[in-house]
Amino acid sequence: MNAGVDAWDGGWYRAAQREPSPNFGARPPGALVDLLVLHSISLPPGVFGTGRVRDLFLNQLDVGAHPYFAQLEGVEVSAHFFIERSGHLWQFVDCDCRAWHAGASSYRGRANCNDDSIGVELEGLEGGHFEAEQYQRLLSLTQAIRARYALRYVAGHEHIAPGRKADPGPGFAWIALQKSPAFDGMQFPHQTMSR
């Protein structure tokens, strides 16, 4: 699919499987969407392909299905996109809206990163490796996002909420992203330059 603006239906990316989450809000007036935030998630941690991430973002997670889920009871979170291990792409929130993925955060001199970022969750374990299919999907998605939004920065959850979050972690291929044309000209966190 063309990575240009015709790849979009408003803030919905046509190549993604659309599954609207109730967990979103309006961006503040004048918000400039210029940050891409990358995360990792699996439910339960380290178990892939369960469909539970989707359930979490739709407020449908059965918290009694696994002991780990008890801590997620009542939690309302979302991300704009979720990339499964296979590379399958889901979209839960319109990119023109504010998804609830960053939490308490600060980056490039601004707080509340949810206000002006697009959040992408990759199915994986914090610190673990990610699949080639996920990176390929992330590259094509980033190109499409950049055709519509003025992205200038990319960071991990670990960079916008240091000490509180550590994902995607050391298994993530930051250097490969820096070398990709899809990320050309974007500013990466200084911590990733030596990895």
Q: Which of 19, 76, 84, 121 is catalytic?
A: 121
> What sections of the chain are H helices per DSSP?
52-57, 132-148, 157-160, 174-179
Catalytic-residue membership of 121: yes
d(CA 142, CA 73): 32
Token duo for residue 81 = 């996109």
Give the residue from 151, 138, 146 showing the smallest Cα distance to 177. 138
Specify whether the CB–CB gap between 83 and 134 falls below 8 A.
Answer: yes
- Is beta strand 89-91 parallel, antiparallel or unpaired with respect to 81-83? antiparallel
Edge-to-edge strand ranges of the sheet holding 117-123: 17-18, 89-91, 81-83, 117-123, 35-41, 153-156
Question: Catalytic residue positions?
Answer: 121
